[in-house]
Structures are given as C-alpha cells and as structure tokens.
Amino acid sequence: MHNFNINYSEDERLINFNPQDFNDVYEVLVELFGVKKTFLIDEVQHVRNFDAFIRRFYDNGYKFFITGSNAGLLKEEISTRLTGRHIDSYLTPFSFKEFLDYHQFSLTAESVHISEEKARIRSLFQEYFVSGGMPEFVRYKDTEILRHIYDDIVTKDIFIRNKVENVLLGKELYRFLISNFAQRFSYNSLLKSIPLGSVNTIKKYVHFLEDVYLALLVNKFDYSVKKQFANEKKLYITDNGFIRVLSIKLGADQGWLLENLVRNNLSFAEEVFYYSGKKECDFVLMNNKKVGSAIQVCMMLDHTNKDREINGLLETMGCFDLKEGLLLTFDQDGSEVIQGRHVIIKPVWKFLLEGKVGTM
C-alpha cells in the first residue's frame, strides 16, 4: 500500500470530523502502514476548513488527490483556498468514444470505412445523441437516475448552498431554461417570464447552473467585453439525457439537440461564442484572442435550409478571414468551395471521434 485513502461520506463515525482530527488519523495510519507521502481524500468538502491541513502537509512535501461530488469543491473555491497548490481535473459524462468503449466497440482508423462497423457506430450514435452519456444512466437505462442527479444538484448544490429563498420560482426558471436550451435569451426576457424580483437575481440563478456544471452559457461574439455581457445569450445543457427527461416541451428540436451535443464537446481550451450579423453562425472559437474556427450545426442540409446555413457560415468566415469552415450535420459528408472559401460538411459522430483514431 503506497497511499492513504480516506472517504468522509461512507462511514458514520466520521460525522463531525474536524481539521484537528486529521493528525489523529494520520498518526494511526502511520502506525499501521508506515510513512506515506500521498493522500487520496474523497468528499473532503464535508470537513470545514480542510484546506488548513492540506496546505500544511503539502508545504512539507506531501501530495493530495482530492475528489468531491458537489459545489463545495467548485473551482473558484479551491482556487481561493489552495492558491498555487492545485491542478484541477473534471469528470464529465461519457464522450462518444467512451460510450463506444462501454459498448465494447473496438474503434480503429478503418472502422468508418467498413460498412458493418460504420453502421454500428451510427446506431450507437443515435442512442448517445438522444440519451446522453451519464455513466449510471448508460448502464441502467432508468430515467429516474437522471431526475435524482438533477434534483440532488439543484437542491443541495444550488438552493441549500446559496440559501435560495424562492425555491419554487427557481425550479420554474430552470425548467424553462432546460426546455428552451440553445435558444437566444436575455435576462430581461427571463424576468418577464419568471418574476424572480430583479434582473440581478435572474442573472445569479442562471450562473448557479454554470457553477455546478449543469449548463454552459455562450455569449454573442463582440470585441467589446461589455457588449458581450449585455447581448443575448444561449444556454446549453451539460448532457442531452437531462433535456429528454426534464424538458416540459413534448419533443426537443433535433437540430438544437445536435447543437447542444456539439457545444458540450468543444475544447475547454478555447472561448466559445455565437456569431450574429446579417446571418447567424452557431459557434466561433477563439484562442489567444483570435477567432480561429467557425462551426455551423444543422440536423440535415437540404434545399429548404442550405442557403441559410451556408451563408451564415460564409458571412462568419468572411468576418474573421477564415479560409475554412465546418458545417456539422447528423449524417452527411461533403465539401464545397464557395466564394473562395472551403466549407467542410461532416457528420457530428465523425467530428466527435476525430483525433481518437488516425484520420477520419
């Protein structure tokens, strides 16, 4: 045994554990196993002022792996309490590649060219697209699992933690946002629909969803940060399965579901915006203060929407002088050069697997 492993959520004897008790536990562990330099501590947020013990031992050469399932371990809080002493890592729902792995599909560079394997990928993608990638749900296929996860996060990590008073309107706001995901909104428009007192209150409630990783906000692109905050926004839900289970609408638009899936799989290393000029483009990606990619998403490209979708992408590419743009669909492949700019048409499932195995 090379490490000390402590879990505060599994043993009732650790209730009311406090930072001073760490020394007692450490001394007992040393007696049993000898001196170890690595601690694995689960659900550490249940111990008030846990950071004092960690800072003291860390500064004396010890290493810690800290895990937690709720907002007590938010990035901002860890950054404040363990400044300069931490590297953050986040567990997310299954990626599509992980979803394939779970279903024991051995992906190779040739898979997308072999008819039987390609058909299997498409079939699994259809399931992933609708049901999402929350591991426990993927295993048991019980929608109550998703409801319980959502209710636990909203109740414990948002309402209780932030001492929210108007829980009923808070829940109503969140159902409204989940039901209208990927659509433009302003805080003023939300206040008209859900009377939660003030625009600032609405803003706080929306950002609570971001804080607990249930949603991602996307601003309209503007070089002015002030205008970015003032302009309409879009909200994306962290997993498509939540939308299917929680939306109050009878059926979510398939194109928006596809857009939601794409947003959740864009790199965290880049800033993500939507573009709106004469036309609109779903995503522009900025890295090092420069827009380097434009992505348009639609369920299927046909004669009824081709001009709108491609022209929105072309306008965005022209605005940022991009030679290449990406148009993602459910299952269409292709490539066109229009007005000297290269439009790549690609299935989302192929986009999600890029970089995982060879070249697609």
Which residues in 39-56 are b (16+ Cβ under 10 Å) and which e?
bebbbbbbbeebbebbee
Per-residue pLDDT tens over the stretch 16-47: 777 778 888 888 888 888 888 888 887 776 67
* 106-115 pLDDT tens trace: 998 889 889 9
Q: How many helices (H) and strands (E) does the chain have?
A: 15, 11
Per-residue pLDDT reduced to its tens digit, 314-324: 999 999 999 99
Task: Please tell me the pTM assigned to this model.
Answer: 0.86
The predicted pLDDT at position 176 comes to 96
Q: Which of 352, 347, 304 is nearest to 328 (CA)?
A: 347
Domain ranges in the chain are 4-81, 142-216+235-251, 256-353
Please give the Cα distance from 51 to 19 (Å, whole number): 8
In the three-class reduction of DSSP (H, G, I as helix; E, B as strand; rest coil), residue 164 is classed as coil
Token output for 280: 């609109």
- With beta carbons less than 8 A apart as the criterion, state whether 203 and 257 touch: no
The rounded distance, in Å, linking the Cα atoms of 167 and 41 is 32
Strand 271-276 versus strand 215-220 pairing type: parallel
pLDDT at residue 70 is higher than 80: no
Confidence at residue 357, expressed as pLDDT on a 0 to 100 scale = 43
CA pair distance 5, 11, nearest whole angstrom: 13
Least confident of 10-19, 96-105, 124-133, 187-196: 10-19
